[in-house]
Amino acid sequence: MAGVLDTVDMRTQLAGRNRLELLMFRLGGRQLYGINVFKVQEVIRCPALNTLPQAHPVIKGVAHLRGKTISVIDLRMAISHRALPDDEESFVIITEYNRYTQGFLVNAVDRIININWSDIMPPPKGSGKNSYLTAVTQVGDDMVEIIDVEKVFAEIMGVNEEIAEDIIEEADGEDVDDSVHVLVVDDSSVARNQIKRLLDKVGIDCTVANDGQEGLDILKEWAKDDVPVHERINLVISDIEMPRMDGYTLTTEIRKDPKLENLYVLLHTSLSGVFNKSMVEKVGANNFVPKFNPDELAETILEIVKK
């Protein structure tokens, strides 16, 4: 498992085909969980960890790997408040998330599978708003749960949602046109709310969609009107990892439709920067911004709507 990213070129070819590779793991029970391989740098046996005084309870400690100090989160404790048992056989999944290298302690690693995003479904409605699930899928006889890592991070690390005053003043000075409208596509309620609050602060209205398919359906419905879509909407901000249809495929579908092809598409993603440049070019997106830096996202949006 250590070399899960050795075949970068092969994995890059998945972009725009609505497919992903999922690394499956367990958290001390029979239940299988999954994480997008694009987030994973490597998988290692749990090394010796140094504890951090006054750290959040779910941070098991820090490890020193290849010249970096990486914090390791007990993922089961983060989502269920039950710590993983101390076990020399545990693994750490090393991920790159929002420009941060982060370790997740898991009980066991299963395997990597290639699956279609259309087979990734939203969590059951009965799971409740406090659930850490962002999606589920069926693999053979097993139900695989995909954890909302953004929610885990927001609760453990905290998220800065404040925009610098000079950026807000610049937006006020520009007197953003009331007709400016943005479509926000993201399956994470945390991320959708973050972006919506940011847009509110700079005076921009938005419509939200829960995944790429819903976003595309909204755009195609708008395209039925006599008014050209690009006059109704200035920008599409889309996550990449989403049930039913991912952001790469959404971008590909937008570029294939003559009524939508000129829309500006900004991918807003927590995926590793190793892939983004080549994938943005491959699917025809205009740009990408890593999640979630409010100043960087606000400045990028304002620059786009000015044009």
For residue 135, being part of any structural domain is answered with yes
Show which of 137, 156, 175 is a domain's final residue.
Answer: 156
Count of CB atoms within 10 A of residue 273's CB?
A: 12
Tell me how far apart the alpha carbons of residues 280 and 132 are, in angstroms, rounded to a whole number.
29
Quote the pLDDT of residue 13: 57
CATH of the domain at 54: 2.40.50.180
Q: What pLDDT is stored for residue 128 in this prediction?
A: 60
Question: Has residue 44 got a pLDDT over 50?
Answer: yes
Q: Are residues 113 and 33 in the same domain?
A: yes
CB 150 within 8 A of CB 270: yes
| 23 within domain boundaries | yes
Indicate the residue among 117, 137, 156 that finishes a domain. Answer: 156
In angstroms, the CA 78 to CA 13 distance is: 33
Query: Do 55 and 16 share a structural domain?
Result: yes
Tens of pLDDT along 235-259? 999 998 888 888 989 999 999 999 9
Q: Which CATH number goes with the domain that contains 206?
A: 3.40.50.2300
Q: 173 with 147, same domain?
A: no
Q: Is 225 part of any domain?
A: yes
- Write out pLDDT tens, residues 61-105: 999 887 888 999 999 999 887 888 876 779 999 987 777 788 999
Q: How many structural domains is the chain composed of? A: 2
One domain, residues 151 and 270: no
* pLDDT tens per residue across span 168-189: 777 665 656 667 899 999 988 8
302 shares its domain with 179: yes
- CA 112 – CA 120 distance, rounded (Å): 15
Residue 8 has pLDDT above 80, yes or no: no
**Does 299 lie in the same domain as 187?**
yes
The answer on 297 and 227 residing in a single domain is yes
Q: Which of 240, 175, 185 is nearest to 207 (CA)?
A: 185
Amino acid in the structure at residue 196? K
Three-state secondary structure string covering the chain? CCCCCCCHHHHHCCCCCCEEEEEEEECCCCCEEEEEHHHEEEEEECCCCECCCCCCCCEEEEEEECCEEEEEEEHHHHHHCCCCCCCCCCEEEEEEECCEEEEEEECEEEEEEEEEHHHCECCCHHHCCCCCEEEEEEECCEEEEEECHHHHHHHHCCCCCCCCHHHHHHHHHHCCCCCCEEEEECCCHHHHHHHHHHHHHCCCEEEEECCHHHHHHHHHHHHCCCCCHHHHCCEEEECCCCCCCCHHHHHHHHHHCCCCCCCCEEEEECCCHHHHHHHHHHHCCCEEEECCCHHHHHHHHHHHHHC
Is the predicted pLDDT of residue 9 greater than 50, yes or no?
Answer: no
Range(s) of the domain holding residue 194: 165-306
Q: What are the residues facing 105 on neighbouring strands?
A: 74, 92
Q: Are residues 182 and 288 in the same domain?
A: yes
Do 172 and 143 share a structural domain? no
Contacts (Cβ under 8 Å, ≥6 apart) of 142 = 32
What pTM does this model have? 0.74
Which pLDDT value is given to residue 238? 95
Q: What is the mean pLDDT of residues 95-118?
A: 86
Q: Is the pLDDT of residue 34 over 80?
A: yes
On whether both 146 and 176 belong to a single domain, the answer is no
